[in-house]
Structure formats: C-alpha cells, structure tokens
Amino acid sequence: MDKKVAALIDKYGVTERTLTFLRAPMRQYINGQFVVAAESMQVLEPSTGALLAEVPSASTEDVEAAVKAARYAFDEGEWSRWKPAQRERVLHRLADLVEENLQTLAEIESLDAGKAIEGCKAVDIAGSIDLLRYMAGWATKIDGATRPVSVEGEHFAYTLKEPVGVVAAIVPWNWPFNMAIWKLAAPLAVGCTVVLKPAQQTPLSMLFFAELCAEAGLPPGVLNIVSGRGRTIGNDLVSHPTINKVSFTGSTEVGITVGKAAIENINHLTLELGGKSPMLVFEDADIQKVVDATQQSIYFNTGQVCSGGSRLYIHRSIYDQTIAAIAERASNMVVGDTLNPETEMGPAISAGQKQTVMDYIGIGLAEGARLVCGGKDPGGEGYWLQPTLFADCDNSMRIVQEEIFGPVLVAIPFDTEEEVLALANDNIYGLAASIFTRDLSRALRLIPKIESGTVWVNTHDMIDANTPFGGVKQSGIGKDMGPEQLEYFLETKAVWIAL
C-alpha cells in the first residue's frame, strides 16, 4: 500500500479487520480454498491514484479450476443434495456476517471504488444484506405446477423447477459488492453454483466476502471468486464449455461479446447493460423532488450509475427555475475524501474514466450546449470531477444520446406531452425513466408508452430486493432481483405420467 493511502486511512481510521485484510496477501477463492495466483495486478485508490493493493491476476488454469469446482459442487457436491431450508440457513448466516462487517465492507469498498462511505453503507452494503435475506427466503418456495391435460387417456402432468447448473457471473466496477450480490444471491438460493469475476479495478470487497462465505459454512465450490482481466479470463469464463448460464452486468459493448460467447454454447443468458435514462419534468412537478432525484441518481456515486437520470426534459414554463435549483444544489455538493462521513461525491474510478467524462464535457461545449455549472478539471492527485450541468441541449447531441457514466446532466426544454415522449424514447437504451408530475392520469397514461425496464414517478433510482431491475432495447435482457430473477436460474421440466 502506498503511503498516501496509508495516510488517508490514518486520518479517518478504519476497523481492525479492514487493516488486517488490506495488510495480508490477497487471494482468490476456489473450491473453498484461498489461493494465490502466479501473476498479480495493481489496484489503485481513486482519490490519490496511489497503490491500494496487489491482487491475483487469474490465469486460464485458475478459471479452469474454479469452473471444475463449481461443476463438481453442482453435480456431485453437498449443495445439490441439501434441503432448501439448509441453503436458506447458510444464506441467512452469510447476510448476518455481512451485517456484522458492514463498516469493514464499506471501508474496503470506499477505498477501492472511490465511493463516499455513508452512501456506500446505506445503499451498497445495506441493500446487499436485504437482497441476501430476500433470496434466502425464496430457497424454500421454488415450486412447479400441476397441469390438467386434454389428450386421450388418463395422465398426470406437472412441471418441475430445477436449477440451471453452473453460473458464470461477471460484474462491473461501479457497484462492486452490490452488483456481485445481485449476481450470486438468486442462483445460490435456487441451488446453482457460481464462479464470479469482479471487475479488475475493484476486486477487494469480493475477496473479503470470500472470508465471510467460508465463515458462513458455504460448502467448497459453491461460490468461487477469481480476480482478473475481462478480455482474458472474463472471456475464458463466459465461453467455458461446461458452464450453463452467463449472468453479466457491464457495458453494452462488452455485453454483446459476452452474449455471443454464451450463445455459442447455447447457454442461458442475462445481460444488464448501459443506460441513458430520461427524467420527464412537467409544469406541475415539485421542483424540490426533481433536485433530490438528481442527487440520488446522476450526482450519486460520481454519476457512475447505470440507471442515473442523465437526460433531463423540463417543461418550458418551469425550465429556468428548475435548472437554477439543480445547479445551486450540485455546485454545493461536498466533494472530497471518501472515508469522510460528510462527503457526498468521491472521485471517478480511474484516470481513463475521468478522461472519458472530460472528453464528453469538451464534446458538449463543441456541440453548443450551455455549461451551467461544473465542467472544469479540479486537478490534483486522483481522478476528481465536478458535478456538471449542461442546459439548452438538442436531442441529437452526443452528450444527450451516449452514456457518459459520470456526473454530467444534460437538460432540454419541451412544450407538449407528445413531444417529450418522443424525445425520451429516441435513444438506443431503455434501462429506466422517471416522470415528475402531480397529475396521476398523465403519469398512468405515459408509463406504458415509455420504453424502459423501470419507470419511477416523482422519484428516481429507487430499488428494492422485491422489485425486478433490468432494461429493454440495448440496456439488456432479463431481470435481476424480485421473484422474476429466480426464473433466470431455473429450468422447467415437464413431467407426464400415464395412469
């Protein structure tokens, strides 16, 4: 660990367990064993750009061993023979351990992913605990159906729900722990086994979670965690011939490659991909709710939020005052050290991501958008950005059409409901959208016409373990969370018995 990172830790203090974890050699988790890799890679702390940890860079052989362990645990191991209630108990134990280690996990995540710690605790870690418990409860409730049939003769027909098998799970760096739990809780609950690869920038919280899995008594091979690069071992994993399902969260570009690999082996596939989510603000909207929604989406997590409300359509009659209110709040956000409980926004994840965002700001200026606030490079060590708002944009601008994945909001005025609906749907993505109005009839009229996986009314970016999340169009295929997610890890077998 670089001395700049050590100084940060000294300044704010962390738990003994965080220190112990960060000081020990980092290891992958394969077949219930903590294993080192022949090669390593560096993980940087985003607010300083300095070395946080050296982590294993998995080899093809490591992936092979992890898939073999998961295959054995599914085909021959304890997991597949356990009663559903036993799986439920272990998942609850795991949730309890995550809760006991909430502070440690948030500290690790905050240092690794540049996340403001209070938001990380409340959203990333607490949300993950809820989802683990929610899915634990489903372990005992997976059932098929009896089917009356009309063919000649006497038959008893029914359906059996069976776990699909070995799941290859790939997650991005923007919610490293939370996205990983989204990927593993449902398949483990229904009896699948999993090999999970965190993003190369942010593997630490999952490497720590492996310790909790061992403590919880998860049998060997049921969950395997390999850390390494996407294009090499990520690809090895999703194209492995003996897995049964690919569950991927990340960019649309990589999702297409991953999807092709899955289909080569006729494997099950879930893709949770990018977004450019619209917020439709009507003349009767509560402007404070709009401001709050920008805080909980596009300016939360430094705008590295797949469903962040990044396109803002405001009725012309309240355009200027809404822009002013958002700019006032955004300009006063507390941007700073991620371990500081006062901090609202940390840095971008990497130098590359910061550069991408700065490039888009340059594109926005060149396209003629009006910069209302932010947009400057704050400089300094680390990958800092400013909460940024562009007004007077046009729907054809690249900053309006493309996913920037940073704290950059673009605003456009509109006059009619038909006009704003067309503008909102004029995008390749369809992850989420929100409508701000006091007119319930208008909201109910618009909800079915909006092309997105989620629609919020008078809020944005609310999620819960019991509601499905996933996009349409180029935002993906399938759902995470809610009872809907379980189906994506189950096969339905039809059974006929001639009586």
Active site residues: 272, 306
Kindly state whether residue 387 participates in binding ligand NAD, applying the rule CB under 6 A. Answer: no
- Which of 90, 179, 226, 262 is close enough to bind ligand NAD by CB under 6 A? 179
Q: Which of 56, 176, 219, 234 binds ligand NAD (CB under 6 A)?
A: 234
Instruction: Report how far residue 67's alpha carbon sits from residue 81's, in angstroms, rounded to the nearest whole number.
Output: 19
- Least separation in angstroms between residue 125's CB and ligand NAD is 16
Residues 19-78 contacting ligand NAD, CB under 6 A: none
- Applying CB under 6 A, does 372 fall inside the site for ligand NAD? no
Could you say whether residue 251 binds ligand NAD (CB under 6 A)?
yes
Q: Which residue stretch of 27-35, 71-79, 246-254, 317-325 sits at the interface with ligand NAD (rule: CB under 6 A)?
A: 246-254
Q: Contact with ligand NAD (CB under 6 A): which of 18, 174, 205, 295?
A: 174
- Quote the least distance from Cβ 5 to ligand NAD, whole Å: 22
Report the C-alpha gap between 178 and 432 in whole angstroms. Answer: 18
Residue 202 CB, shortest distance to ligand NAD, in Å, is 8
Instruction: Provide the minimum distance between the beta carbon of 201 and ligand NAD in the complex, in angstroms, as a whole number.
Output: 7
CA atoms in the 13 A half-sphere facing the CB of 286: 9
Q: 460 and 297 in contact (C-beta within 8 Å)?
A: yes
User: Is residue 303 at the binding interface for ligand NAD, with CB under 6 A as the rule?
Assistant: no
For the record, the structure tokens of 148 come out as: 């009356």
471 binds ligand NAD (CB under 6 A): yes
Q: Is 124 a residue that touches ligand NAD (CB under 6 A)?
A: no
How far apart are alpha carbons 47 and 201 in whole angstroms?
14
Cβ closest to ligand NAD, residue 77 vs residue 476 = 476
Site track 75-114 with ligand NAD (rule: CB under 6 A), x = hit: ----------------------------------------
Instruction: Compute the distance between CA of residue 198 and CA of residue 115 in angstroms, rounded to an integer.
Output: 16
CB closer to ligand NAD, 254 vs 446: 254
**Candidate residues 235, 247, 343, 485; the one interacting with ligand NAD per rule CB under 6 A:** 235
Pick one of 238, 327, 345, 389: the residue that binds ligand NAD (CB under 6 A). 238
Closest distance of CB 166 from ligand NAD, Å: 16
CB 137, min distance to ligand NAD, A: 22
Secondary structure of the chain as H, E, C letters: CCHHHHHHHHHHCCCHHHHHHHHCCCCEEECCEEECCCEEEEEEECCCCEEEEEEEECCHHHHHHHHHHHHHHHHCCHHHHCCHHHHHHHHHHHHHHHHHCHHHHHHHHHHHHCCCHHHHHHHHHHHHHHHHHHHHHHHHHCCCCEECCCCCCCEEEEEEEEECCEEEEECCCCCHHHHHHHHHHHHHHHCCEEEEECCCCCCHHHHHHHHHHHHHCCCCCCEEECCCCHHHHHHHHHCCCCCCEEEEECCHHHHHHHHHHHHHCCCEEEEECCCCEEEEECCCCCHHHHHHHHHHCCCHHHHCCCCCEEEEEEEHHHHHHHHHHHHHHHHCCCECCCCCCCCCECCCCCHHHHHHHHHHHHHHHHHCCEEEECCCCCCCCCCCCCCEEEECCCCCCHHHHCCCCCCEEEEEEECCHHHHHHHHHCCCEECEEEEECCCHHHHHHHHHHCCCCEEEECCCCCCCCCCCECCEECCEECCECHHHHHHCCEEEEEEEEEC
| Residue with nearest beta carbon to ligand NAD | 230
Between 256 and 334, name the residue whose CB sits nearer to ligand NAD. Answer: 256
CB of 298 or CB of 306, closer to ligand NAD: 306
Using CB under 6 A, pick the residue from 274, 309, 406, 430 that binds ligand NAD. Answer: 274
Which segment (16-24, 210-218, 229-237, 488-496) binds ligand NAD by CB under 6 A? 229-237
Q: Is 254 in the site for ligand NAD (CB under 6 A)?
A: yes
Comparing CB distances to ligand NAD, the nearer of 105 and 179 is: 179
Residues in 182-221 that interact with ligand NAD by CB under 6 A: 197, 199-200
Residues 403, 409, 427, 452: which binds ligand NAD (CB under 6 A)? 403
The residues near 396 (Cβ < 8 Å, ≥ 6 apart) are none
* CB closer to ligand NAD, 14 vs 55: 55
Q: Which residue's CB is nearer to ligand NAD, number 91 or number 463?
A: 463
Size of the site for ligand NAD (CB under 6 A): 31
Q: Which stretch binds ligand NAD (CB under 6 A): 149-157, 251-259, 379-387, 389-397?
A: 251-259
Residue 309's closest CA among 405, 409, 389? 409
Binding site for ligand NAD (CB under 6 A): 170-175, 179, 197, 199-200, 230-231, 234-235, 238, 249-251, 254, 257-258, 272-275, 306, 403, 405, 431, 471, 476
